[in-house]
Amino acid sequence: MFDAAQQAELKKYTFAVYILQALSFLLLFSAVIGIIVNYVKEDEVRGSWLESHFRWQKATFWYGLLWTLLGVLTLPLLIGYAVLGILTLWLIYRIARGWICLVDGNEMYFNPTGEERER
């Protein structure tokens, strides 16, 4: 069971990770700090509606890292520029959508059972 104070505290961490991900466009290491926060706080959000945000943030980081590496490796072939350009748009979308859903108090993924998660 999550009380309002716990939810508010965990929501701050979730906001912080979105901020760190956004800052990664300027400071690359901030995304690494964000993923560390995700893994450190993972057990605390388990079972709450914020768990979906943590899953979203982790997927954004790991897929972003994969496509960054592929983009950099293919720069000599010139296709890397397109990969990195599309990746930038995708990252902006993921960070913005996650942040908006967090502010609205929504989970990130469709819940087919229709059951409300702990708030």
List pLDDT tens digits, range 59-112.
999 999 999 999 999 999 999 999 999 999 999 999 999 999 999 999 997 664
Does the pLDDT at position 1 exceed 80?
no
Position 40 in a domain: yes
Position 118 in a domain: no
The pTM of this model reads 0.88
| Structural domains of the chain, count | 1
Parent domain of 57: 4-104
**What is the pLDDT averaged over residues 1-27?**
91
For 47-61, how does the pLDDT look when each residue is reduced to its tens digit (9 = 90+)? 888 999 999 999 999
Q: Which residue's structure tokens are 């959000």?
A: 45
Mind spelling out the 3-state secondary structure of the chain? CCCHHHHHHHHHHHHHHHHHHHHCCCCCHHHHHHHHHHHHHHHHHCCECCHHHHHHHHHHHHHHHHHHHHHHHCHHHCHHHHHHHHHHHHHHHHHHHHHHHHHHCCCCCCCCCCCCCEC
Position 70 in a domain: yes
